[in-house]
Every structure is written in structure tokens, then in C-alpha cells.
Amino acid sequence: MKKTTLFLILLLVFSTMLIAGCTQQQPVATPTATPTVTAVPTVPSQINQTVANVTNQTNQTVANVTNQTKQTVANVTNQTKQTVANVTNQTKQAVANSTIKT
């Protein structure tokens, strides 16, 4: 009986200490001010702008090459038409000259 009583008294003391420790107020720690971070420009927008610039330059280059090619074809076509016209005129002149001589 003495052992049981002693055990219950010790259990009561420990539980009281545990409850008293949990309900005791802890001092409130004051938060320290954190430094503010300034916004840094994001890299993806710069990459997108670079890609857009390269795309625009490529499109412009392709347009320039296309225009130059079309101009070259137009020039060759005009020269060919002029050559055919000259040959036709010379042939007509030769035929006319032959007709006059005959």
C-alpha cells in the first residue's frame, strides 16, 4: 500500500509540473525586419524580345531576297521580250528589204 501511495503522489507531482510548464507564458519574440528585395527584370522577356527581333530580321531578309529575285526575274523577262522584239523587227526589216530588192 505504501508503494502504491508513493507512486500516486509522484505521478501527481509530475503531472502538476507538466501542466504548469505547458500553461506558463513564453516571452514573445519581437520579429526582426527583413530586408526588402528589389524586383529584378526577368530573363524570359529579354529572351522573347531577342527571339522576336531575330524573327523580324529573318522575315525582312527573306522578303528582301524574294523582292530581289522577283526583280531579277522581271529584268530577265523584259530583256528576253526586248531581244525577241529586236529579232522580230530585224526579221521583218530583212523580209522587207528582200521584198524591195526582188
For residue 66, being part of any structural domain is answered with: yes
Range of the domain at 81: 57-102
Cell of 9: 503522489
pLDDT for the residue 19: 81
Q: How far apart are CA 14 and CA 12, in angstroms?
A: 6
Q: What is the pLDDT of residue 64?
A: 86
Domain for residue 24, yes or no?
no
Handedness of CA 69, 71, 73, 75 (dihedral sign): negative
Q: Which residue has the higher pLDDT, 81 or 34?
A: 81
pLDDT tens digits for range 28-72: 667 676 667 676 656 567 777 887 888 888 888 888 888 888 888
Q: Is residue 61 part of a domain?
A: yes
Confirm whether 14 is domain-assigned.
Answer: no
| 16-33 residue pLDDT tens | 888 877 665 666 667 676
pTM: 0.38
DSSP characters over 10-76: HHHHHHHHHHHHHHSPPPPPPPPPPPPPPP---HHHHHHHHHHHHHHHHHHHHHHHHHHHHHHHHHH
Q: What is the pLDDT of residue 41?
A: 59
Say how many domains are in the chain.
1
